[in-house]
Structure 1
Amino acid sequence: MDLVPISDENSVKIDVKLLTDPQTIKAGTAAKLIFAFQENNKNIPLDISHEMKVHLMVVDENLSWFRHIHPKEQADGSYSIMETFPDSGKYLLFSDFKPHGAAPLVDKKEIIVSGSGGNDKMDFSTKFVSLVDGYTVTLENGDDLKTNRSQPLEISVVKDGKKLTENDIEPYLAATAHIAMISKEEKEFLHIHPVSDKRFPIYAETHIKKAGIYRIWVEFQTNGKIHTADFTVHTKAGETTKNANGHHDHHAH
């Protein structure tokens, strides 16, 4: 089930509107985000996908801060959530949703947060190992990602010297894990759901269209707690093949 960006070519004309309260958001102060998914200026019904009607991925422009949150449906058919942005600057909001009876879609919005901070430069050197909550999470094939081919994301998880298996990880939103990839330059977005593999507790297949630097966030659950590992990869250009089709990817631009 692939998500496609909203564009003039898509047959379903959905207008995604975003309001914020307050209108000017300040860093460190909670703000309400209100989304309306409309057709002909009327809110439309959405289907549940991975246990939620709206998945909202929020990142800062530097790709150093990441949130995967779920706005709640309101009586008027809109969706809202409170969020606090840590620093000033530009933030990108990717909402993926499934209009009732139609294909899933993804929309990208930008907001500006006022206040101090937010000027730190992100280190985009390669990072294949992430330490989170006592877990060592490794993207084992991080140095072998290329465009124009179907390829795996092979992720190992170790705690207290023990390698975890898929059975050690609890289902989270109807998946073993949730993986988000965003490119540094054009902010292209991929939302990937793992598939079963006996060798790695988290294993997914993806298809990357453009070479460049990508940030990756992997969310997985153990003992009722969500852990978020992060990686930085430099994807190289691969040879073009006729059968380079990706699997389980949700793309957005």
Structure 2
Amino acid sequence: MKKWMVSAIAYLLVVVGAYYAYTSFTDTGAEEVSHTDEAQHNDGKTEVNTSEEEGGHDENHNEHESDTNVEGDVQPLIQLENEEIIITLKNKQGEMVSDLEVNHEKLLHLIVVSSDLNEYKHLHPETDEPGIFKVKHNLKPGEYKAFIDIKPKDLAYNVLPVPFVIGEAHEDHEHDPIQPDSSLSKQIGAHSATLALSSFKVNEKIELKFNLNGEIPEQYLGALGHVVILDEKAENYIHVHPLEGNEPLFETEFTNPGIYKIWAEFQFDGEVFVFPYVVEIE
């Protein structure tokens, strides 16, 4: 009897020992998997942050540069009603987007250009309800593209053209292609501005320097000036702010060759003047 009980106890101890050994092994395996997933997640996050820092506006002063191959988390919609442009901001789930960062003194900058790139407007719609912005306009009948420049908090956003029409659309209407300017000196009202580019080559840092005939522009929307650049099809959008200092010096980069239109905005005596230029990048 005693021999049987000793054998039973010994057997029980073997089983219990085997059980604890097994659970200890499986717990260790789960912990390693968890650490591996966390390491992969952290590595991915670091790469994203590095990418943002390398492509951020602190380096090249392009506050916004569109990428037509990337769709962001915010999808703007434009409506026209009673001589008002109404912009509705929604995320991919159809929810209103209202949490925006102030960007150069405004929550939203609206750039509107006509299809022939002759008309240019820089407007600042206001909001009185979440995700909806409104602004009056005096645009003539025609085809336009809008560029809604915002900085949503915690959401990816890419400034893409939003086409709209005032009046009747003319699908068969084509415009003559824009041509590079023979002179980069412009006179608007009593003010003049001459543009000099450090290079006309693609994939190079290019300085845009403006000679304002001795005039010093006033601070406008928190900067000495603003520059908006579009390609000839009005698809790729670049919004540039000046480098630090007391002169209107800007820096940008063109990733594709082609013809581009540049609008430079400067404020004198409380009034904003827009100087247009057309250049060819090779």
Taking structure 2 as the reference length, what is the TM-score of the superposition? 0.69
Q: Which residue of the other structure, out of 184, 187, 192, is the alignment partner of 1:136?
A: 192
Distance between the aligned counterparts of 1:4 and 1:179, measured in 2?
A: 12
Instruction: Indicate conservation of the 8 Å contact 1:96/1:107, yes or no.
Output: no
Question: Does 2:79 align with 1:19?
Answer: yes
Shift of 1:215: 0.9
| SS of match in other structure, 2:161 | strand
Are 2:83 and 1:83 equivalent residues in the alignment? no
Contact 2:78-2:164 at 8 Å conserved across structures: no
Question: Which of 173, 176, 179 in structure 1 is aligned with 2:221?
Answer: 173
Q: Which has the higher helix share?
A: 2
CA 1:210–1:13 in 2, change beyond 3 Å: closer, same or farther?
same
- How far the C-alpha of 1:104 sits from its partner, in A, is 5.5
**Which aligned pairs between 1:230-249 and structure 2 lie closer than 5 A?**
230-236=276-282
- Which residue matches 1:59? 113
Quote the residue 1:250 is aligned against.
none
Task: Write out per-residue CA displacement over residues 172-218 of structure 1, whole angstroms, 9 at most, x where no aligned residue.
Answer: 111111101111135321111011356xx311110001111111111
Bigger Rg over Cα: 2
* Aligned CA distance change for structure 1 residues 51 and 135 (closer, same or farther; 3 Å): same
- 1:35 aligned to 64, 83, 87, which one? 87
CA distance in 1, matches of 2:138, 2:267: 23
Query: Following TM superposition, by how much is the alpha carbon of 1:35 offset from its aligned partner in structure 2, in angstroms?
Result: 0.9
Checking the alignment, whether the CA contact within 8 Å between 1:147 and 1:211 is kept in structure 2 is yes
The structure with the greater share of residues assigned to strand is 1
Indicate the residue corresponding to 1:149 in structure 2: 204
- 8 Å CA contact 1:55–1:95 kept in 2: the answer is yes
**Counterpart position of 1:3:** 64
Letter in 1 for 2:146: L
**Preserved contact between residue 137 and residue 155 of structure 1 (Cα < 8 Å):** yes
CA distance in 2, matches of 1:35, 1:204: 30
Deviation of 1:224 after TM superposition, in Å, equals 1.2
In the aligned structure 1, how far is the partner of 2:255 from the partner of 2:69? 21
Q: Which moved more, 1:65-74 or 1:77-86?
A: 77-86
Alpha-carbon deviations, 1:93-132, whole Å to 9, x = none?
0001011244554232001222699987575241411101
Cα 1:56–1:113 shift into 2, 3 Å: same
Provide the rounded CA distance (Å) in 2 between the counterparts of 1:202 and 1:131. 17
Who is 1:28 aligned against? Answer: none
Identity of aligned residues (%): 21
SS in 1 for 2:221: coil
- Rounded Cα–Cα distance in structure 1 between residues aligned with 2:248 and 2:225: 7
TM-score (norm 1): 0.76
Give the whole-Å Cα distance in 1 for the aligned partners of 2:174 and 2:155: 41
Gaps of 5+ in 1: 23-30, 237-253
